Amino acid sequence: MPELPEVETYTRYFARHALRQRIVRIDVRDERILGEIRKETFVRKLKGRRFTEVRRHGKHLFARAARRSEPDVWLHLHFGMTGDLAYTRGELPRFARVVFDFENGSRLAFEDMRLFGVADLVSDPDAFIGDRGLGPDPLQLTQKQFAALLERRRGAIKPLLMTQEVIAGLGNLYVDEILYQTGIHPRRAVDRMTDAEGKAVFAAMRRILRATIARHAREAGLPADSLIHHRETGERCPRCGGTIQRAVVFGRTTYFCAKHQR
DNA sequence: GGTAATGTTAGACT
DNA sequence: TAGTCTAACATTAC
């Protein structure tokens, strides 16, 4: 389930289990997950190294793999639509695509059923973020900076929030949730939003992301009156009694309340 | 069997 | 130019 809150959860999971561990073996079980990099290169560059730091930007995870007196290499993971991590001593997940074996006998599996994710290597995460043109991470953004992102924009709010080059980390589910909780229609033109609405979107974004990250840690979800539990046409809106509608916006299935989202 | 799925991207259109 | 749409990628679950 990889949007920003999930990738943040994977990052913490990585830190908890895989940090400071030496990689003794790497098993690329399906090369299609590697993108451009060759399997031999990927394995050769990581083997024998130790993960010393893990970072996240938007939906991207970076883990520094260090070896004394050699330049750092960073493992870069993108989780696509169905990516996940599993640290285990026992059975591997069915769709494990890359498996890192550690000195202590445990293994970290990068699994991804649909193979839309990527595992590769980068020399510097900041350079990667710059090259890719990724926007700022929503959790490291002030209200003022967020307001600046909306300035001089045409078009609808949902596509804007989904565009990783504008702001990095939001996906289909959480953008719908943010707009639902602020009462803004997904197709509302950005230049027809008030300053107060902009502030409300910013506040909801932070609130929802933080709450989701916090609740992932406890295996719970967003409150029962959140849109995420009612993503079905014809559902009764738990906030205003309106009807949940479905539309396609920016190529993605979008749910919203026809009554209170304007 | 048809459809849709939390993502990204190239190409085309307005 | 900026914004939006479509199709494609691979695989499963309903």
List, for residues A66-104, the tens digit of each pLDDT value: 999 899 999 999 999 999 999 999 999 999 999 999 999
Q: Rounded to whole angstroms, how far apart are CA atoms A107 and A130?
A: 32
Both tokens assigned to A239: 């906030």
Residue A26 scores a pLDDT above 90: yes
Confidence of residue A219 (pLDDT cuts 50, 70, 90): low
Residue A7 scores a pLDDT above 80: yes
Q: Which nucleotides of chain B are near protein (any atom < 7 Å from a CB)?
A: 4-9
**pLDDT at res. A1:** 58
A171 touches strand B (CB under 7 A): yes
CA at A69, C1' at B6: how many angstroms apart?
40
- Distance from chain centroid for Cα A34: 18
Locate the DSSP E strands across A58-160: 60-66, 73-78, 83-88, 96-102, 107-112, 118-122
Protein residue closest to B9, using CA and C1' = A116
pTM assigned to the model:
0.95
CA at A6, C1' at B6: how many angstroms apart?
9
CA at A87, C1' at B11: how many angstroms apart?
40
**pLDDT at res. A218:** 61
Q: Give residue numbers, 122 to 161 of A, with CB < 7 Å from strand B.
A: 132
Q: Any idea which residue has 């009156």 for tokens?
A: A225
